[in-house]
Structure 1
Amino acid sequence: MVYFHGGDFLRGSPNSINPFQIVLKQKVIFVTVAYRLNIFGFFSSLDNEAPGNYGLLDQVASLIWVKNNIASFGGDPENVCIFGHDAGAVSVGLHLISSYSAGLFQKAIAMSGNVLSPGTVSVARKESATVEKVASAFSCFRRPTYKLLGCLRRVNYQALLDIGEPLAEWKPMVDIGLSNLSTPFLPDLPSRMFNDEYFSPVPILTGYTNMEDALLLQKEGEDSGISPREFDVMREEVILSDITVDNSSCFTNQHHIQDAVAFFYKPIPPTTNETILRKQFLDFYTDKVHGATTYQLAKHISKHAPIYLYRFDLKPFSDIANEGIPEWIDVPHNFDLIFIFGLPYLALPEDYPKWDYRDKSVSEIMMKMWSNFAWYGNPTNSGVIIEWDPFEIEKPGYLIIDRQNFSMSTPERINYRAFEFWTDFYPKVVEIGTKCCKEGVEDSGTDSIITTGLVNSLLTLHLILILIS
């Protein structure tokens, strides 16, 4: 199992997790990878001199090393499972579609991160301003590029990090055409590549927690919800980020787009209850960013290979794990790692009794399923009496992991209609609402937004919006 750590491609370390328990109990070989981050890993001069994506190329180098050397450690170079969380999960998705990584792994696990989520990759047009900012920040000439790089190499590494980090959102980018000396790591937007079925058809296990982003709504010193005004403003800002384009003269019919989303997610019956509105906003954001993109990925992969989906709803039983977390938050970002890496067994001697035996039991099951998948491509292949069916388009299913049991989803537990809204209807609304723009809407994580053909349903949409307004 080759693990790529998270941290938004800005920070993180392979030492951030301790795989001792999963290695001890499941007899797997666990490889953690250090890769360049921040400006060091994702700066690009947009030409041959520094095409970019160095952090991802570091990951490829690690996979090549594993393929060439893991047999010496008792491993099987033909049974490699890449495994990532957060940005590491996005990395896993990028390796699925990059020719650099093809054949270097046979299975993939992506936790709490999805390559189809909005804004996971950038494009060269957006990075041109970043190069100018970097040159200006360090008093370097922008051109010729070799002088810019020579100047940057003379800057102290800590200064590069401290000054360079806030200059841009450092992340992977589409690098086709940037270099005539090397093959691009990412030749197109991920959604387009999945649409064109350009990916490695390997078994995949992927999912997310039920409140990935809940901590972002936590208000210091209080446990209040969000007001109706906050609910509307935050929802509108999320949608606005999808339809904002660089061309300031571009006209977008923002109101029709916002109305369509508001209709789907407005509380019925209307309410001013701030707790209900907070939950409603979390459902909206989780459906859009995590649920729909996972669903869309599954629709692509399931045609060619088994894909197992899960949603982690199990709040730890142990008070030590929930310390400092408001009662209303179920399972926020990172809390699934508690169980995957056997944290209840890794506690300090004085803390060991503070872990509930039920958390230890759940951790045993999770480690077994994850290692089963790494071994066999099936999480319930042996030693687990749990039904976990692979996703099928005609029979979509998630394993719901909660305090009661581990069971396949029902329509009451998973809102498939919301996923279809985000992956099918919403992209058409956006395309119509931005049809006057000269520049296309960038990748939002769903396949339909970047379809080049014009949608012929403007009249139908207009009638629908009249009916729902």
Structure 2
Amino acid sequence: MKMVISWNGLIVVGMVLCGLVCGNKDAKQSVPNDSCEKQEPEVERADPRVCIADGCLRGTFMKGYRTGLFEAFIGIPFAQPPVGKLRFANPVPVEPWREHGDYNASVEKSMCVQKNELLPVAAAMGSEDCLYLNVYRPKIQNTSKSVLPVMVYIHGGGYFSGSASPGIVGPEYFMDTKRVILVTIQYRVGVFGFLATGDEVVPGNFGLKDQSLALEWVKQNIANFGGNPRLVTIFGQSAGAGSVHMHMISPLSEGLFSRAIVMSGNAIAPWNFPTKDPLDLARRQAEAVGIPCAKNLTSRQIVDVLRNVDALALSDSISELKPWSVDPLTLYRPVVESLDWSNQAFLVEDPRESWQKGNYQQIPWMTGYLSNDGAVRAIAITTNQQLLKDLNANITTLLPLLLEKETSAEFLMALKQRFFVNSSNEQWITEKDAQQLIKLYTEAGFLYPLHASVKQHVTSADTETAPVSLYKFSFQGPYSYSMLYTANPDVHNFGVVHCDELIYLFRSPLLFPDFAHKSKEARMSHNLVKFFIDFAINGVATPLKPYRPCNSANEVYQSMDCDVLEFTNSADPEKPFEVRVINGRDEDMFAFWKKYYF
């Protein structure tokens, strides 16, 4: 399917997406500053105003996709800028500004420092002063009579990139419904969010703790916006899904939400396995920025020198730690902490153990996947002749690196038999095998972890009080995130790839044109947003009949044995799309990966 956006234009957009939202200057004061005050939004200036404990906020109006104006409070600080001694430290709540007048919450702030290596042109961008959130609500005249459910979105990006920018995570589709308050948050990523030393000096998980503090902010303040702090749904995609899943596990986030939606990823996926030796990684990071004798430095010495390295230079140096191309993608990731270090530990055991034992919040949750989630990395390889040649020449060393998982010779041969059975030993993967490599990535990184998490949940939890709902998104429209994953987006039709459902949940004017209002894509968007909101309100997906829920009574097979709601294209030209019930059982896939996974 041919894209309508030029590749050259997309690179420019991608660079904006990567951090050129507001510049790169770090804040030098504890009171939040208006780091983007020169960028005045082109919206009607009626100045909606809300007061919270920290002070009063003046927002702005935004225009809905189908409807009129809604209120937007953009760039609200929830933590002090994590600079200086606060770099590589737990987030600290923001200083009140009530004595300094109303806070200007009408302009967006910079995204966190990052280098988005999924883009063909990657550069370190952003600011360390980035711990802000956005609150969007319908126009409300009397908040005491208007208590709406709240949905908090946590962006993905492999723990190394991402943004809450309204140009990418636009609120318009949710605000058109007038049924919820939407909150989008930012958190530290990459080395800034996940550096650790394996001890109390740098315990790690700072990006996740940023998220938890943002959720605490929502609990304390959302009622002032007309939201219900007792009906908060957190939802996230990819690394955001892994984050949501870990908030269900973390003692630090207990009681901060009542529903969860886990989209294309979770806490037991290989790319979310905790870092085994964080101190070694920290020492290698110090070496990458030119620190001499880094292997001999103590934890305290490492953090002291890294706190004085330029933020962009530190982010850019992460590429030096990648053995091949940009792999492993999630170099910096969650770590297991000890309660002996601090009472602010986010993860106190491996998420795989927590989930298997049922050590997590027993709340309603929903999880889903896309047909070709694995395309997020696979297509960049199969459309690059040099990468494909390298992979085939070093398949036994590079494939484990790509899967972010230790492998044996037996496992590698099993992979060849399952995915590349007709290939030669000299060339496992050709450009024609793109779909098979996508399938491998999809099963290993997304589909099997989803099955395993559901299977373990129905075994250990009470699915009456903590039901799990499932969906699959396989609707293919004219736009796709595949154009961001390869420099040759028109070479193949890659189907429905990782992130494509976001096109229908969030308006993304920096990336894609708007849908025509009467198009099938616009109708799919309306339907999908309604589906998510219905779950946030009711705690279960709106079922079609007949529908077999996930519970222990249905778990007679090895894989999960329950129904999935699939959003897909319709074979009937009179119908814009189809929502149907499919059986989620996949015994062949589950049996293969269960043998080799953990």
TM-score range, shorter chain: 0.7 to 0.9
> Is 1:68 matched up with 2:188?
no
After TM superposition, the structure 1 = structure 2 runs for residues 120-139 of structure 1, keeping only pairs within 5 Å, are: 120-123=272-275, 125-136=276-287, 137-139=289-291
Say if 1:256 and 1:213 are closer, same or farther in 2 by CA, change over 3 A.
closer
Task: Tell me by how many angstroms 1:130 deviates.
Answer: 1.5
* Aligned partner of residue 170 in structure 2, secondary structure: coil
- Given that 2:247 and 2:253 are in contact with CA atoms closer than 8 Å, whether structure 1 keeps it comes out as yes
Show CA shifts across 1:183-240 (max 9, x none): 532122211111111111111111121112336444799799x999978976985457
The SS at the match of 1:113 is coil
Query: Is 1:298–2:454 an aligned residue pair?
Result: yes
CA distance in 2, matches of 1:200, 1:210: 29
Match in the other structure for 1:18: 170
- Does residue 288 (structure 1) correspond to residue 444 (structure 2)? The answer is yes
Aligned partner of 2:495 among 330, 336, 355: 330
Paired residue secondary structure (1:132): helix
Contact kept in structure 2, 1:315 and 1:402, CA below 8 Å? yes
Amino acid at match of 2:199: D
Q: Distance in 2 between matches of 1:362 and 1:133?
A: 47
Residue 262 of structure 1: CA displacement?
Answer: 3.8
1:161 CA displacement: 2.3
| Cα distance in 1, alignment partners of residues 278 and 499 from structure 2 | 30
Question: Does the 8 Å CA contact 2:383/2:431 hold for their aligned counterparts?
Answer: no
Q: Which string of whole-angstrom CA distances, capped at 9 and with x for unpartnered residues, describes residues 410-433 of structure 1? A: 47xx6332123212x335xxxxxx
Aligned ranges 1:321-360 → 2 under 5 Å? 324-341=489-506, 352=514, 357-360=519-522
Cα deviation for residue 176 of structure 1 reads: 2.7
Q: Matched residues in 2 for 1:231 and 1:426: separation? A: 22
Quote how far apart the aligned CAs of 1:355 are. 7.3
Native 8 Å contact 1:319 1:354 kept in 2 = no
Alignment of 1:258-297 (within 5 A): 258-265=412-419, 267=421, 277-297=433-453
* Residue 79 (1) aligns with residue 236 (2): no
Equivalent of 1:161 in 309, 315, 326: 315
Query: Of the candidates 253, 257, 260, which is equivalent to residue 108 of structure 1?
Result: 260
Which has more strand, going by share of residues? 2
Letter in 1 for 2:533: S
* Distance of aligned partners of 1:165 and 1:66 in 2 relative to their CA distance in 1, 3 Å threshold: farther
Q: How does 1:424-463 map to 2 (within 5 A)?
A: 425-427=595-597, 449=598
Q: Deviations over 1:126-149 (max 9, x none)?
A: 222222223333537764543433
Instruction: Name the structure with the higher helix share.
Output: 1
1:42-61 residue pairs with structure 2 within 5 A?
Answer: 42-61=194-213
In structure 2, what is the Cα distance between the partners aligned to 1:244 and 1:68?
40
Are positions 1:201 and 2:362 aligned together? yes
Aligned to 1:307: 468
Unaligned ranges ≥5, structure 1: 246-251, 428-448, 450-469
Question: Among residues 371, 390, 396, which one is paired with 2:549 in the alignment?
Answer: 390
Distance across 1 between alignment mates of 2:381 and 2:596: 34
**Is 1:368 the equivalent of 2:530?**
yes
What SS does the aligned partner of 2:316 have? helix
Q: Report which stretch shifted further, 55-64 or 257-266.
A: 257-266
The range that moved more, 207-216 or 371-380, is: 207-216
- What is the rounded CA distance, in whole Å, between the counterparts of 2:422 and 2:301 in structure 1? 61
Whether the aligned pair in 2 keeps the contact of 1:81 and 1:105 (CA below 8 Å) is: yes
Matched residue count: 408
Contact 1:212/1:333 (<8 A) preserved: yes
The amino acid that maps onto 2:306 is L
Match of 1:118 in 2: 270
Q: For 2:476, give the aligned amino acid.
A: K
Ranked by relative contact order (alpha carbons within 8 Å, sequence separation 6 or more), the top structure is: 1
The TM-score with structure 2 as length reference comes to 0.60
Structure 2: gaps (5+ residues): 1-150, 323-330, 484-488, 571-577
Structure 1 window deviating more from structure 2 (301-310 vs 3-12): it is: 301-310
Q: For 2:413 and 2:514, how far apart are their aligned partners in 1?
A: 52
Identity across aligned pairs (percent)? 27
Structure 1 position 407 matched with structure 2 position 583: no
Match of 1:9 in 2: 159
Mapped contact 1:228–1:277 kept (Cα < 8 A): no
Whole-Å Cα distance in 1 between the matches of residues 192 and 596 of structure 2?
36
**Helix, strand or coil: the match of 1:290?**
helix
SS of corresponding position for 2:272: coil
Identify which range, 209-218 or 13-22, moves more after superposition.
209-218
1:308-342 Cα shifts (integer Å, max 9, x gaps):
122211110x3698874555311112111011225
Deviation of 1:52 (Å): 0.9
**CA, structure 1 residues 402+243, in 2 after alignment: closer, same or farther (shift >3 Å)?**
closer
CA deviation string 1:44-95 (max 9, x = no partner): 1322221111111111101111111111111111111111111111101111
AA in 1 matched with 2:473: F
Deviations 1:344-386 (A, max 9, x none): xx699x95576771111111100000011111112317xxx67
Query: Residue 90 of structure 1 contacts residue 120 of structure 1 at CA under 8 Å; is this kept in 2?
Result: yes
Take 2:482 and 2:301, find their aligned partners in 1: how far apart are those partners?
Answer: 52
Name which of 329, 341, 358 aligns with 1:180: 341
Give the corresponding residue for 2:135. none
**Aligned partners of 1:371 and 1:379 also within 8 Å:** no
Cα 1:406/1:166, change in 2 over 3 Å: farther
Look up the match of 2:63: none
Classify the secondary structure of the residue corresponding to 2:355.
helix
Please give the secondary structure, in 1, of the residue aligned with 2:236. Answer: strand
Corresponding position of 1:442? none
Q: Secondary structure at the match of 1:105?
A: coil
User: Which segment drifts farther, 299-308 or 13-22?
Assistant: 299-308
Where 2:475 maps in the other structure, the secondary structure is coil
Report the counterpart of residue 108 of structure 2 in structure 1.
none
Letter paired with 1:300: Q
C-alpha distance in 2, partners of 1:231/1:221?
A: 11
Aligned partner of 1:28 in structure 2 is: 180
